Structure formats: C-alpha cells, structure tokens
C-alpha cells in the first residue's frame, strides 16, 4: 500500500469513528506549484479548519482583520494556532486530525522553503492544543532526518 492510499484510508477510518474529526487534509503533488509554498500550505490548513467549524469563523475573522502575517512562523503563530485554540476550546474532548500527505513533494527539493517548513514542524508543532494530532507521510530523505527526530 502506498503512502497516499494509507493517508486516504486513515482519513476515511477517522471520519467513521464518531469520536474525532479530520480538520484538514493536504495531498501534495510535485507538479502543483500551489502545493509547494509552505505559507500557502499553512493558510490552506487554516481555511479548512474555519470551513469545518463555522462557529469559530466570526471570532477568527475579527482577529484576522487586524493582522497581516506573511512569514511561515507568523502564519503558524497568529493564524493556525488561533484557529486550533478556538476549535479546542469549543470541543475540548474531541480528537482532531490534520493529515499532510507526501510532504517530500512540498517545495523544491533543496529549497529553503522545505527546510524551513520542516524546522517549523520540529519546533512549533509540539505546541498544538491537546486534542489536535498531526499525521504526515513522505519519503524520509537523509538531509532532513535531523528535522524529524
């Protein structure tokens, strides 16, 4: 079974389990330029979260109107964490899952974008609220091994 099939099956099974919610899914493609920009990736995840939980949309938009972050660290801190904290506060006992498939296809192979995204995962994703889990698939390339341990 390939990694994309595995990720899709995980999403299907998680959705069948009424104890949790898949709040964002990203399937990267090496030939899709929109899936190669880490800032767009984070914004896509935020968008999917707000779409999945309309009850947080107004709170989120009120804060969003006063911010204009463009760095991936800023987008993570100001937008993604805010959306996740709003979801966690409204549904504190529910498990929430974010799935990123084929992360090795995000950004150009030797780009700083991919390296900075991996460093962001290493440093920031430990800050996710309690019920939020991240599932990532991708080829573990030797030069990025230190970012994933």
Secondary structure class of 76 (helix, strand, coil)? helix
State yes or no: pLDDT of 86 exceeds 60: yes
More confident: 22 or 114: 22
Q: Please, which pLDDT band fits residue 34 given cuts at 50, 70 and 90? A: low
State yes or no: pLDDT of 56 exceeds 60: yes
Residue pLDDT, tens place only, 66-76: 667 778 888 89
Give pLDDT, residue 24.
93
CA distances from 100 to 35, 63, 138 (A): 11, 26, 9
Give pLDDT, residue 144.
52
């Amino acid at each position: 079974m390939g990694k994309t099939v595995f990720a899709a099956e995980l999403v299907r099974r998680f959705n069948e389990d009424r104890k949790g919610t898949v709040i964002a899914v990203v399937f990267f493609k090496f030939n899709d330029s929109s899936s190669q920009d880490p800032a767009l990736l984070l914004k896509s995840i935020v968008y999917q979260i707000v779409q999945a939980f309309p009850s947080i949309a107004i709170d989120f938009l009120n804060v969003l109107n006063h911010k204009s972050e463009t760095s991936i660290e800023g987008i993570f801190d100001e937008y993604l964490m805010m959306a996740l904290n709003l979801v966690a506060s409204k549904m504190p006992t529910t498990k929430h899952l974010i799935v990123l498939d084929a992360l090795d296809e995000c950004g150009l192979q030797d780009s700083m974008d991919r390296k900075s995204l991996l460093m962001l995962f290493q440093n920031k994703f430990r800050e996710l609220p309690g019920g939020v889990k991240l599932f990532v698939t991708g080829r573990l390339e030797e030069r990025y091994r230190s970012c994933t341990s």
